Amino acid sequence: MYDQYQGLIFDMDGTLLDTEPTHRKAWRQALAPYGMQFDEAAVVSLNGSPTWHIAKMIIEHHQSPIDPHQLAREKTAALHNILFDDVTALPLIDVVKRYHGKRPMAVGTGSEHAMAEALLRHLGLLHYFDAIVGADDVSRHKPDPQTFLRCAELIGVPPEACVVFEDADFGIMAAQAAKMAFVDVRALSA
């Protein structure tokens, strides 16, 4: 099905793994002590962004003096406490299994590198991927193409010979900016 591509690159949250409900739960836990809430649609629109960027948006909405990096750390800590119990692989993992050993594959995620690696290891999926690029591995995040360009570099495939699997507008914009083909996985499940 994707034989025409030399390299496959996957977003993680909401694309490979069903982590979105757990992320929302962790946000609620992190925000509760501050009496803050988040607009779910606004947070979904930022899918693929690093946690501190989402924290910044929530803080600005509430006009709070909290440091976004501190709030991001608190959300990540809450996530660590609940994530490994709730997360499952999504059906797209079948594509990963089908191309394992046939095409180099990478994960390009807005999650931190260590979190992505730990989740994939926990689910027995880490060995399928030749590279992981997390939010802390790049200086510019989706919709900037740096995440996906770094993935292509690490798997040794020219960007124009890669396909990106994404579930977020920022990720699709990043794939387009990288001159990569993309699959909007939201259309696959519709």
Owner of token pair 């060995």 = 127
Is 86 noted as a catalytic residue in this protein?
no
Q: Round to the nearest angstrom and report the end-to-end CA distance of the chain.
A: 19
Cross-strand partners of 108: 133
Query: One-letter amino acid identity for 116?
Result: A
The enclosing H or E element of 8 equals: strand 7-10
C-alpha–C-alpha distance, residues 12 and 7, integer Å = 16
Amino acid making up residue 18: D
Do the beta carbons of residue 17 and residue 165 sit within 8 Å? no
Q: Which residue of the set 3, 11, 39, 137 is catalytic?
A: 11
Active site residues: 11
